[in-house]
Amino acid sequence: MVHATASSEAIDPDDVTVAYVGGGSRQWAPNLIQDLAQSGLDGRVRLYDEYEESAKRNARFGNWVQSREGAVADWTYEAAESLAGALAGADIVVLSTQYDPAETFVHDLDVPRRYGIYGAVSATIGPGGIMRAMRTVPLYREFAAAIAERCPDAWVFNYTNPVHFVTRALYDEYPDINALGLCHEVLGTRHRLARYAREHLGMADATREDVSVNVKGINHFTWVDEARCKGVDLWPTLEELRDGEEGHQEFTASDLADESVFVDNWQVTWELFRQFGILPAAGDRHLVEYATWFIQDGKEGLNRWGVKRTGSDYRAKHWTPAESEQTTDVDAWMAGDREFELTESNEVFVDIAETLAGDGSYVTNLNLPNVGQVSDLQDDAIVETNAVVRAGEVKPVAAGGFPRPVRALVRGHVETIETVIEASADGDLDAAFEGFLIDQQVRTLQTEAARELFAELVDIQREYLESWDLEESTVLAGSSACSVD
C-alpha cells in the first residue's frame, strides 16, 4: 500500500526547480508561466517536450513575460534536450501531455459513435477514455521510473487526462512518488455555488474561496454531500433550486447551436441530485459518461439535458494553432501583433506550490491513492477528495462514503480503471479488453460488438500502442475489424 501522507522536505521558495514534461503545451504552459510570474516563488523552469521547438518557444515566452508589468517573481526558462536533464534534481515536476488528436482523439470519438455510443467528451472513461489511457499509461510508467531515478522526492503535479488512470499508473510504477492529480471540475462547482450564494442568499461578494464542500469520488465523477458559503449551509437553497424551474429545464439542438462545447446547464447535475440526494461536482459533459443514462438516445438525448457533444472536428481544429480559438498565441504576443495582459488562470498550482514551500495550510481537491479518505472504495485506487497542504506535506481529508446506488456506480468505474492498470504492467491486451468490456458505456453492447469496437480502435491506433502485446492477443485474432501483422 502507498503512504497515507505525501511528504518531502519543504521547498526553498527562493530557489525552486520545476521540470515541465510536455513543456511545449499551447495552453497549459503559457498559463502556468503567467501564474508563476505573479507568485511568491522564484527559480527556474526546464521545459521538455518531444516537439523541442515548441518547448523553446515557450521558454522564450517565459523569459519575455518576466519583463512585463506585474511580473513580480524571478523566474528563468530553458528548453531541456532530454527528459533526464529536465528532471535532474527537480523540486516540482509538472506533467501535461497528449498525443496528436487528429491521429488519436478523433477516432476515440468517431468509432464508438458508429457502434451507438454517443460520448460527450471521450477523454476519461468509456471506449475513448480507455483508449487514451492505453496510449498514455505506458509512457507515464516510464516517467515515474525516471522520476524515481532523477528526482525521487519531487512533487509531481499531473494534469494529463485521464487523471485517475494516469495518476494510478504513476503510483503503481513508483509507490513512493509524491504525485498529485489535479482537475478544475470541483473548482468550477465551487464557483457555481458561490454564484447561487450571491443570487439567492444576498452574499454579494461571495467567491469560490468562500465556498467549502465535502467532496468525494473519482475524477470527473465527484460528489458533494455538504456545502457551505462563509459558514452558511447551502443545502436548503440547492434543494429549492433542484425542485424549481432552475432544475427542470429542457433544451434542443437549436438552443445549443451557438453555445460552446463547454456549456454547462447543470440539468444532469440536478437530475442526479433528485435521484440520489447527493450533488455531483463535475460538469454535465463529464457526468453523462459515468452516469450513462443520458447518452442512450444519441444527440437528441444529450441535447435534451443541455449538453453539447465535443465533436472530432473540434478536437482536430484545437490542435491546429492557426484555427484554434483556445490555442494561446505566444508568438503574436511577443511580436506585438496581439495585445498582452498578464492574467491569472484560476488554477491552484501556485497556491499548492507556495504552501509546500511556506507556512500555513491550504485545502483543495486532489486525486490521491485511497488510504481511507473514501471509506467504501478499495485501497490504493485513485480517489478525489479534499486534501490539506502544508510545508512539505499533503494529507487527504476523510470524506466518508456514498449512498448505496452511487457507490455501485463509482465502484464499477474503479474496477474498469484498476483492470486496465493491472493489464498495463505487462502489456496484456486481452486483460485490458476485460476492463474495456465492463465499462458502463460498453456494457450497452453485445460482447461480439464490444470486441469489434475494441479491435477497431486498437487497429487504427496501433502505432501508439507499441507497449501492448498485439501479436499474441486472442481478442484481436478473433476480430474481423483487425488484421494482425
Residue 448 placed within a domain: yes
What is the C-alpha separation between 401 and 376, in angstroms, rounded? 5
CB 26 within 8 A of CB 61: no
Which CATH number does the domain housing residue 282 bear? 3.90.1820.10
Residue 69 placed within a domain: no
Residue 227 placed within a domain: yes
Q: Quote the cell numbers at residue 69.
A: 508589468
SS (H, E, C) 39-108: CCCCEEEEEECCCHHHHHHHHHHHHHHCCCCCCCCCEEEEECCCHHHHHCCCCEEEECCCCCCCCCHHHH
Residue 31 placed within a domain: no
Give the model confidence (pLDDT) of 142-191 as tens digits. 999 999 999 999 999 999 999 999 999 999 999 999 999 999 999 999 99
What is the C-alpha separation between 293 and 171, in angstroms, rounded? 32
Identify the active-site residue in 107, 184, 200, 318: 184
Per-residue pLDDT of the chain (485 residues; tens, 9 = 90+): 444 566 667 799 999 999 999 999 988 999 999 999 999 999 999 999 999 999 999 999 999 999 999 999 999 999 999 999 999 999 999 999 988 878 888 999 999 999 999 989 989 999 999 999 999 999 999 999 999 999 999 999 999 999 999 999 999 999 999 999 999 999 999 999 999 999 999 999 999 999 999 999 999 999 999 999 999 999 999 999 999 999 999 999 999 999 998 999 999 999 999 999 999 999 999 999 999 999 988 888 899 999 998 877 766 665 554 444 445 689 999 999 999 999 999 899 999 999 999 989 999 999 999 999 999 999 999 999 999 999 999 999 999 999 999 999 999 999 999 999 999 999 999 999 999 999 999 999 999 999 999 999 999 999 999 999 999 999 999 777 665 44
In terms of residue numbers, what domain contains 234?
A: 100-121+184-320+347-463
**Number of structural domains, the chain?**
1
Residue 95 placed within a domain: no
CB 354 within 8 A of CB 35: no
Q: Is 184 a catalytic residue?
A: yes
Residue 149 placed within a domain: no
Question: Please, where are the H alpha helices in 277-329?
Answer: 284-290, 298-304, 312-318
Q: Coil, strand or helix: which one is 204?
A: coil
Cβ count near 347 (within 10 Å): 18
Considering Cα of 159, then 165, then 170, then 171, what sign does the dihedral take? Answer: positive
Residue 67 placed within a domain: no
Pairing mode, strands 279-280 and 362-369: unpaired
The b/e string for 272-292 (b: 16+ C-beta within 10 A; e otherwise) is bbeebebbbbbbbbbbbbbbb
Residue 374 placed within a domain: yes
